[in-house]
Structure 1
Amino acid sequence: MPELRAGDWQWSVAAGSNLLDALNGAGLCVPYSCRAGSCHACLVRCTQGEPLDAQPEALDAGQREKGWRLACQCRVVDDLSVELFDPVRDGSLATVSGHDWLSPSVLRLRLEPERPLRYRAGQHLLLWTASGVARPYSLASVPGEDTFLEFHIDCARPGAFVDVARFLKIGDELRMGELRGGVLHYDPDWQERPLWLLAAGTGLGPLWGILREALRQGHQGPIRVMHIAREHYLAASLQGLATEHDQLQVELIDAEQFQTALSGLRVASRQTIALVCGSPGSVEAFSKRLFIAGLPRGQLLADTFLEKG
């Protein structure tokens, strides 16, 4: 059986064990969200040995050369020593500059980073509380337009991170991990094409940033925004943009009407680009319907939000 070492901990694991599960099973609390290699929350650095990596392309060459790996995508096949991400050593500091409620359960958190951050709309960051709880959240802000980093946090259920986030105050400090890609983005080459932004719950957050980025870059094709939710927390802002931009169509669908709305989706142009974000069930439902409606698979970009504790 391979030996796994992390800091002062060393123990035997079954050959082929998932590295993330092995670390968390030992009580080391490595954060994660998607388990698909997208959110990059579960970064660890291999200092001795090499795991079997299912997605080596998920990290750039520079990160891999330094030993960074995504624990969720790795299996322990030989003796392995890893170093966990340390938010104080490896992260950066940010100060709370905005804290308000967009609805009874959706918190808008704005942060001022200690150092300027170059990012694109739709990317995400790992946020760490002072007590060491970490969760990945997508950016809802727009680079070059907003002076802050904005996150929309679903606080409908209790959780280790959201229970802290609810009571943050202006001036409080959080740590941030490295900026991560994800698949959601806006490509200027799409300017003439129909753009669909389909969201469930706070999956609207990154799409809100991408929508504003598309409009900022002068998108010429029609834009369709569909938000499935019990609380349409950006309704006024979306309707305001629709009033200003003739090509923008906004549909606010109650959660109970999701299946009815899905059945009505028709893809009029095979040039359509669809960006989908939300819970696993909603993303799967949107994706299946779009494929049935004739959307080419390469024109669907989806990001899944797992429930965060």
Structure 2
Amino acid sequence: MLPGRAPVPEPVDPLISAAGRTWPVSSGSNLLDALNGAGLRVPYSCRAGSCHACQVRCVSGEPLDLQPEALSAERRDQGWRLACQCQVLEDLQVELFDPSRDGLPARVQALDWLSADVLRLRLQPEQPLRYRVGQHLLLWSAAGVARPYSLASLPGEEPWLEFHIDCQRPGAFSDSARQLQPGDGLRLGELRGGALHYDADWSERPLWLLAAGTGLAPLWGVLREALRQHHQGPIRIIHLAHDAAGHYLAEPLQTLAAAHSQVQLQLATASELAAVLAELRLVSRQTVALLCGSPASVEAFARRLYLLGVPRNQVLADVFLPHA
């Protein structure tokens, strides 16, 4: 050591305190990985800041938040952060989301299979929940499994909250949903506003609703909201499914189309998608298009709309990410 030169202190790893434990992590560690690496089982789905399943409350200390706009100012003021989007740079004291404390209680009102793979779940919340079409809600099972689902119900007209759960592939929440019975309890997490909605100012404009799989759920709500508000422009609905059996709302959609002359319905299978998109023709640059489904299907829809000349600010999309 040179005379008069103070020693350089060794960097100290930050400490995380959660669930009665404290342990060090490397500076810059992802908060979600640090918590789950310690065995605390923080749920997550997308790791992209969309699903909000990994919310934790920072009681002391502040992580580096890579996506602060993902949460409302109110939630952030309460200390909530998305663990998947946070890096640990200093000591943190964290409270995990506790569904029994932080979630809204709800009971299963009804369950029925709309197809071999799609389970319709209707919940009755303990307290009325104000929401709009196109929003989604985090559902917590009794076992502590969380997953966001889009609302398919129509606010103000249906007393239940309706969700369409894709059970085609194994998943922690969908597997537990198969075992539910009427009267069983669930907890509701944060209500979020997705990109999809209906605006009364669109009343005279063409409205295209393009969905794949259970991406139809929020658009089923948007369609009925548009009709409830007496939408005057043409409404075109395209539902993409793996096969004909996958059109799980074919009958109610056909009933609505028969009752409303401005509604045009097209049911397409995966093998027909290219031909269906090629046949699309733009009749007005005022067209508003709402897209929902898997990343690949939404990308295919959006690419065709771009080539047709639909302005990008008139294309609203919500992507259903695969189970993590």
Pairing of 1:24-103 with structure 2 (within 5 A): 24-103=36-115
Which residue of structure 1 lines up, in the alignment, with residue 220 of structure 2? 208
Matching residue within 264, 276, 280 for 1:265: 280
Distance 1:196 1:27 in 2: 46
Which residue of structure 1 lines up, in the alignment, with residue 117 of structure 2? 105
Q: Per-residue displacement from partner, 1:225-257 (whole Å, max 9, x unpaired)?
A: 111112000001111100111111111101222
Matching residue within 284, 303, 308 for 2:318: 303
Indicate how the Cα distance of structure 1 residues 301 and 128 shifts in structure 2: closer, same or farther if over 3 A, else same: same
Normalising by structure 1, what TM-score? 0.94
Q: Per-residue displacement from partner, 1:167-213 (whole Å, max 9, x unpaired)?
A: 21111111111211122111112111111111111111111111111
Matching residue within 149, 165, 173 for 2:177: 165
- The answer to whether the aligner puts 1:6 opposite 2:7 as a matched pair is no
Which residue of structure 2 lines up, in the alignment, with residue 227 of structure 1? 239
Pairing of 1:179-194 with structure 2 (within 5 A): 179-194=191-206
Deviates more, 1:114-123 or 1:49-58: 49-58
1:39/1:182 contact within 8 Å kept: no
Distance 2:43 2:288 in 1: 32
Distance 2:278 2:86 in 1: 39
Q: Per-residue displacement from partner, 1:272-291 (whole Å, max 9, x unpaired)?
A: 11111111111222222222
Q: Displacement of 1:265 after TM fit?
A: 3.0
Q: Per-residue displacement from partner, 1:43-70 (whole Å, max 9, x unpaired)?
A: 2111111122232222222111111112
SS in 2 for 1:103: coil
Residue type matched to 1:296 in 2? Answer: P
Distance 1:44 1:247 in 2: 46
Residue type matched to 2:143 in 1? Answer: S
Distance 2:134 2:172 in 1: 24
Distance 1:249 1:14 in 2: 57
- The answer to whether the aligner puts 1:289 opposite 2:301 as a matched pair is no
Indicate how the Cα distance of structure 1 residues 18 and 270 shifts in structure 2: closer, same or farther if over 3 A, else same: farther
1:38/1:183 contact within 8 Å kept: no
1:13/1:22 contact within 8 Å kept: yes
Distance 1:283 1:15 in 2: 37
Indicate how the Cα distance of structure 1 residues 165 and 220 shifts in structure 2: closer, same or farther if over 3 A, else same: same
Distance 2:183 2:263 in 1: 37
Indicate how the Cα distance of structure 1 residues 115 and 259 shifts in structure 2: closer, same or farther if over 3 A, else same: same
Deviates more, 1:90-99 or 1:163-172: 163-172
Residue type matched to 2:227 in 1? Answer: L
Which residue of structure 2 lines up, in the alignment, with residue 197 of structure 1? 209
Matching residue within 132, 139, 150 for 2:151: 139
Distance 2:299 2:34 in 1: 28
1:105/1:155 contact within 8 Å kept: yes
Distance 1:28 1:152 in 2: 29
Deviates more, 1:211-220 or 1:290-299: 290-299
Q: Provide the alpha-carbon RMSD of the alignment.
A: 1.7
Identity value in percent: 68
Residue type matched to 2:76 in 1? Answer: R
Distance 1:18 1:288 in 2: 34
2:51/2:147 contact within 8 Å kept: no
Q: How many residues align?
A: 309
1:38/1:182 contact within 8 Å kept: no
Which residue of structure 1 lines up, in the alignment, with residue 266 of structure 2? 251
Distance 1:16 1:99 in 2: 44
Which of the two has higher C-alpha Rg?
A: 2
SS in 1 for 2:152: coil
Indicate how the Cα distance of structure 1 residues 282 and 67 shifts in structure 2: closer, same or farther if over 3 A, else same: same
Normalising by structure 2, what TM-score? 0.90
Distance 2:315 2:231 in 1: 18
Q: Displacement of 1:25 after TM fit?
A: 3.5
